[in-house]
Amino acid sequence: MDSKAIMDIGVAVALGAAAFASAISLGIAVAAAMGAIGRQPEASNKIMTNMIIGCAFIEAITIYVLVFAFMYAGK
């Protein structure tokens, strides 16, 4: 196995792990936000805003891994 094949496998594993972790953490964040809104509906605007910002940060990690995957796939 040459170094290119090893790097391709590593990039694929990293992208899969990042996507899996992102999906799990997004599910946890949304579930917690929905539970908080259920307990305190009058604060739903603040909760939703904070949840959306948090989800954007979580998705950013996956996008960074995707960009690195494209970078290394081109080499």
Q: Report the C-alpha gap between 40 and 9 in whole angstroms.
A: 46
Q: Report the C-alpha gap between 30 and 61 in whole angstroms.
A: 17
In which band, very low, low, confident or very high, does the pLDDT at 38 lie, cut at 50, 70 and 90?
very high
Structural domains in the chain, CATH included, are: 16-73 (1.20.20.10)
**Does pLDDT of 75 surpass 70?**
no
pTM of the model: 0.78
pLDDT (tens digit, 9 = 90+) per residue, 12-35? 898 899 999 999 999 999 999 999
Largest CA distance in the chain: 59
Report the pLDDT value the prediction gives residue 17, as an integer from 0 to 100.
92
